[in-house]
Every structure is written in C-alpha cells, then in structure tokens.
Structure 1
Amino acid sequence: MSSNVSRRSALGLGAAAAAIASVGVSSPASASGSGPSRIRKVYGREKARAGGVWHTHIAAVDRAGALRPIVEDDADHVTQGYSVQKLAVATAVMDKIDRGELTLGTKLDLPASIILGGSGIYHLHRVWGDDITVANFLTAMLLVSDNTAVRMCGRVVPALEINEILAAKGFVHTRVEPVANPNRFFLGTTTPREMHDLLWRLGNRTLLAPESCDFLLSITRWLNGYHDGVRRVMSSGERQRVATKYGADFNTLGESRHEAGIMFDAQGAPVLTYAMFAEGLGEPENYGATHPAVEAHAKIGRTMMDNLPATTRSLRESHTQPAPFRPVNGG
C-alpha cells in the first residue's frame, strides 16, 4: 500500500517528468508517423509538457485481433487509483449480482448520515431519505463519480468481499483499503496494466456476465459523463465510442490526474485501451479542463481516436452498438 496521504480519506472515515525515452516502444515507428507511432509520439510530448510522474499502459488490436502494447511506461507501478477505482468497485457489485446474491433493483435507503461531498450529485439534494436501487447508485458512481455511491456499494459488498472478488478475477494489486467499519474503505490501489486488463475484459464482455458488462459500458460510454480529458475534442458520436473513468486527488507527491478507458471502432468492436496515471503534478485545486495533465489527456485522446486500428469482420460480430443519443424536448 502506498503511504501517500490522500485527501479522499473521508471515504474510509464515515519528481520531475520522466524522459520521453522512458516510454516503452513495442513496434518500430512507421514512416508516415501514423498509428501506434503517432500515439507514442504525442503521448511522450504531452507527458513532458504536463510534468509530473506518469504510469501508463496503452494497447490496441492488430488486424488479426491480437492485443499489442503501444505505450508501456512504468505500467506495473502500484499507485493510488482514486476515482478510477470506482470501476473495480462496480465490478465487484456486478459480480455479486451475477451470482444471484443481489439485483440491480435491490433498494437501500439514502440517509443523511452517509452523504459525502466532493464529486457527485447526492450531496446536492439537501434533503435525504430516498429509497434508491443498486442501479441508481452505480450509475451515479460511474457517470458523475459520486462519492456517496461508494459508501452505498460498501453496504452491499463489504470491503473484504470486494478484495476477494477482485483477487478471484486475477487482479493482484487492484484493491480497496479496508478500515474499521467493514462497509467503508479507501478507494485503494491498482496498476496501469491491471486497469487495462479490467477494461479489455469489460469491453469483450468476459469480465462479468455479458449483460452486466453491457450495463457498465452503457454508463461509462454515455454523453453525460466526463468530457474534460480524453473525450474533450470529439463529436457526440465519437464520445459514445469511448468508455472512460477519471480520477483526481492529491497526495504528498503533489496533484494526481488519472484517466482510464476503452475505445470502440465505428462498428462496435473494442480496439484500444488506455490507463494513464499521473502524479506529482502542479496546479493544486485546478480540477478543470485547463489542468496541464487533463489537457494532455485531451490531446492524447484525440490522437488515439484518429489512429484506431482497423478490425476484421470476425472481430465485430459479437459486439453490439449502444443506442444512439437522441435529444428529447420534454412532453
């Protein structure tokens, strides 16, 4: 476990930039500077501009469907995942649903005593006492990164059980950090490589039951989610091809700005994963789109979208497209 002190500790209670040369290169740069070589170049450039210490794994499929690393930059470093960890928490809740011990329709009360501030929506209500479904708080946790929803998850899957589920799925370092209250926890640690693995299996509908994977992807791909980073410079159609989760906090090294996700091609097949964890950054209290690391995510994200690999028909046949966004004018 990292000894860095995080402001996000409320969840449990109630370095200079690396050199561009450190970026792992898995295949020679193409003469045209497109595809993987272009992604590597932009990643290295934007990492250097943003500063801090980065730990990253980016991978994409080749035409045969094999997953090939593009960037492996200290990809096995164990780091505080912050809100990116909410993907792992949601995975544990859905695993319990898959086993028939819980349902998306199970209802819990939302008392004032459980409300947390920071990111999310529940703390804005000002009055509480609703009965809400598991589906409700999972959506809030993944779409707007609601912190109270983390506590709601802990009420249905305690911290130790979350870690047992993650271990059973083969994750070694992706863990929440238990505290005295068995239903509360710090969000804990992960590695870029393990988060890549989680996302790849989610995108291929093997991490959980296919319908459970579809549920989590429908939330993380939706247009009302996080847009400041990877998805910033994209059309609405392109944004729906990206399932993403952002995390931001600070520790003794400085600011942290993380983003991890999976991109799909225009036919619905998962083709690229990214897990970018940056810490030791500057600009404290800037949680917006102008933070240098978040601006870097946006430029890297646009480059990844512009250089997605082509896929064969066989790779697309088992995947379905989400419903397209349609505006509704009340009524």
Structure 2
Amino acid sequence: MSSNLSRRAALGGLGLGVAAAVAAAAPAAAAAGDDQARGTGPGHLRRVYERQKTKAGGVWHSHVAALDADGALQTVIADDVDAIVDGYSVQKLAVAVAVMDKVDRGLLQLGQKLDLPGDIILGGSGIYHLQTVWGDDLTIANFLTAMLLVSDNTAVRMCGRVAPALEINEILAAKGFVNTRVIPVANPNRFFLGKTTPAEVHDLLWRLANKTLLSTKSCDFLLGIMRWVNGYHDGTRRNMSSNERSRVAIKYGADFNTLGAGRHEVGIMFDSSGAPALTFAFFADSLGDLDNYGATHPAVEAHAVLGRQLFDSIPAPVAGLAARTARPTIDLTPFREVNGG
C-alpha cells in the first residue's frame, strides 16, 4: 500500500490552458475585487481560478469545460488534467455508477434490501453511525442516496456487498475509464476508494449529464441526489439561492495523506432550461489545515468563489439550441419546504 494513502481511505477544446498569474502591476485589492465581480468570459474565469489557486496554496489539478454559443463543449480550464490523484470521496460517484450499471443490466434492483449490521458501521462523514443501534433493512436506493447526498462512509461498504471491488473496476474499465479505480483488499467486498484524474471525472460527469453513461432512468436517479439542496453547501454552492443550488450537481471529497490535506469538488452546472452547460473538477492536495473540514478551509473558500463565478458565466438558453445539439434536459422542480401534516 502506498505511503501517501489516505488515513481513512479503506472504506471498504478551446485548447486554452490556465492563464499565467495576474500581472504583477495589478493591485492586490483590485484582483480581490475582480474575483467577486460577475464576469462571464473564459479569460476572466481563468484569471479568477489562478488567483484563488495561489491564495489557497497546495497543488491543484483541475478541469472545467463549458458549452460555447454554438453548443459545442470547450475547455475553459485545463490544469494538470491527467494527474492521477487520490479521489477520496469523489470516488463514491464512480462506485455509485458501477452499482447502477448492474441495476441497468437487471443484476440488481433499487428496491432490493440488505441488512445493516453493527459490525459494518464506519464513522466519519455520513448518518448511519449516528443511529447508535442498527439492524435496519436498507434498499440499495437508500444507501446510494446516503452515499452521494451526505457522503456516508458505511454506504461504501454496503455498495461493496452488491458490487465487489474487482467487479467495480471491470465496470469502470468497460466504460472507458483507464485510471479511475478502487483498490481491492483481502476482503473482496471492501476496498480503498482509490485513484482518478480530473480528465476522467469530467468525462464521467458529462456523460452522466447527457445520459449516455447509464440508462436515462439511472442517470436521473444519480443526478437527482447530487442536485438536491440538502447536500454539500460549503464549496461551490455556498453563495447561491436554493433554486440556484438545484442547478448544480456536486460531489466532494476531503481527507489527507502524507502530502497534506486534500479538498476536492466536482460537478455539473445546468442552465435555466435544465440543459447541462458546464462541468468542473477541482482536485487540490498538499494543502495545510488538515483537520479543518469546514467552509473556512482555504481551498473550500476558493471553491465557493469559483462556484459563483462559474454559475454566473452560464448564458441564458438560446432558442432552438437544445434541439440542434440534442442536449437532454432534467426536471428542475423547485425546492419547496413541507411543514409536516
């Protein structure tokens, strides 16, 4: 096992690169103000990214792509996109894709139930460990929702019971992912969350958004969880309304290894018509503040700035563009609170 393995990992073309740092003559105050201004162009986004990356520190590996005016997907930010990195909890999305692939093939059903024994419980992120007593019968849909919405660690072990590590890797390989893998251990139903790259995560996200990665029904299921407003808000979705948050499907990952802290966030942004418009994959490692998993971690604060900037860069839908580019849409039913009854 590599020495830089996470302490908690054993859970079962614009052709444009990133712009250079902002010119030294620009006052620091002006640069900070520009990061809060709602710019729209790719050059503006690259400058904001570079400043936020520098401010947060660490080593970043990022990929951002967006549709242009003609409906073609273009790279906006490409920063070491083929780096093989510890995915941490971002890998839970790949695990969920493997499970849903088996659902699509009729080997599993979302309504299928498994028991939740006490000896499978893991702490850290999630909800199941908070129960203090166990013995529940959980549907596959239940623990997949917990794994993606609140990044539940026990849910990873539940996934391993229906999709062993070697099978997960075979499914990911069959879908064309070369580096996105979980790491098997002696127990075939347990694994380390493993590695990925920003480029492969972008590919996974875009195919998920366009419903070519899995069946339409399975893509909708995963996207519905990732977009829900009760999910992760510390990063890219921090400075957004509830309706804006519902247009951003996200998965985050946070841990540390011998290189330092890692704070990752990946996702899809949709335009106001419901069509996918943009993907982002931010992987930052070798960071400080190892035990800060909150909104004040410098990399997470950078994600919040970048999220607002990326969202504001999405143009209004162009009449007829969705039909010309065959971009599928998803339901954007607004969040409504329910007061019991």
TM-score range, shorter chain: over 0.9
Q: Name stretches of at least 5 consecutive residues in structure 1 with no aligned partner.
A: 13-18, 24-31
Question: Does the residue aligned with 1:330 lie in a helix, a strand or coil?
Answer: coil
- The 8 Å contact of residues 154 and 183 in structure 1, kept in 2 or not, is answered as yes
Asked if 2 retains the 8 angstrom alpha-carbon contact of 1:61 and 1:309, the reply is no
Aligned counterpart, 1:5: 5
What count of residue pairs does the alignment treat as equivalent? 317
Deviation at 1:308, TM superposition (A): 1.2
Aligned-pair CA distance for 1:35: 2.0
- For 2:179, what is the secondary structure of its paired residue? coil
* Separation (CA, whole Å) in 2 of partners of 1:311 and 1:328: 31
2:339 is matched with: 329
Aligned to 1:27: none
In structure 1, the partner of 2:67 is: 61
2:195 paired residue number: 189
Q: What residue in structure 1 maps to residue 304 of structure 2?
A: 298
How far the C-alpha of 1:47 sits from its partner, in A, is 0.3
TM superposition score normalised by structure 1 = 0.92
> Which residue matches 2:127?
121
Q: Is the 8 A contact 1:80 1:190 kept in 2?
A: yes
Aligned pairs (5 A) from 1:272-283: 272-283=278-289
- TM-score, normalised on structure 2? 0.90
Cα drift, residue 3 of structure 1: 4.4
- Aligned residue for 1:202? 208
Q: Residues 39 and 312 of structure 2 are in contact (CA less than 8 Å); yes or no, is this contact kept in structure 1?
A: no
Percentage of matched positions with identical amino acids: 70
Q: Which residue of 2 aligns with 1:26?
A: none
**Structure 2 unaligned spans of 5+:** 13-17, 23-37
Aligned 1:9-48 pairs, distance under 5 A: 9-12=9-12, 21=20, 34-48=40-54
Contact 1:57 1:275 in 2 (8 A): yes
CA offsets per residue over residues 179-224 of structure 1, 9 Å max, x none?
0000000000000000000000000011100010000000000000
Counterpart of 2:137 in structure 1 is 131
Alignment RMSD (CA, Å): 1.7
After TM superposition, the structure 1 = structure 2 runs for residues 105-184 of structure 1, keeping only pairs within 5 Å, are 105-184=111-190
Structure 1 pair 289/188, CA: closer, same or farther in 2 (3 Å)? same
Offset of residue 36 of structure 1: 1.3
Aligned to 1:251: 257
Conserved? CA contact 1:39–1:303, under 8 Å: yes
SS of the equivalent of 1:327 reads coil
Displacement after TM superposition at 1:319 (Å): 1.0
**Structure 1 residues 220-259: aligned runs within 5 Å:** 220-259=226-265
Alpha-carbon shift at residue 321 of structure 1 (Å): 2.0
| 1:256 to 1:20, Cα distance in 2 relative to 1, 3 A | farther
Is the CA contact (8 Å cut-off) linking 2:211 and 2:328 kept in structure 1? no
SS at match of 1:11: coil
Counterpart residue type for residue 281 of structure 2: A
Distance 1:49 1:299 in 2: 12
In the TM superposition, residue 21 of structure 1 has moved relative to its aligned partner by: 2.5
CA contact (8 A) 1:63 1:310 kept: no
Change (3 A) 1:189 1:2: farther
The letter for the 2-side match of 1:64 is: D
Work out whether residues 63 and 311 of structure 1, in 8 Å CA contact, stay in contact via their aligned partners in 2.
Answer: no
Aligned counterparts of 1:188 and 1:51: Cα–Cα separation in 2: 24
Q: Distance in 2 between matches of 1:309 and 1:33?
A: 11
> Aligned residue for 1:29?
none
Partner secondary structure for residue 301 of structure 2: helix
CA contact (8 A) 1:230 1:300 kept: yes
**Residue of structure 2 equivalent to 1:284:** 290
Give yes or no for the alignment of 1:318 onto 2:325: no
Distance (Å, rounded) in 2 between the aligned partners of 1:20 and 1:37: 8
Instruction: Name the SS of the counterpart of 1:272 in structure 2.
Output: strand
Query: CA offsets per residue over residues 305-327 of structure 1, 9 Å max, x none?
Result: 11114443342663132322111
1: CA distance between counterparts of 2:182 and 2:293?
A: 23
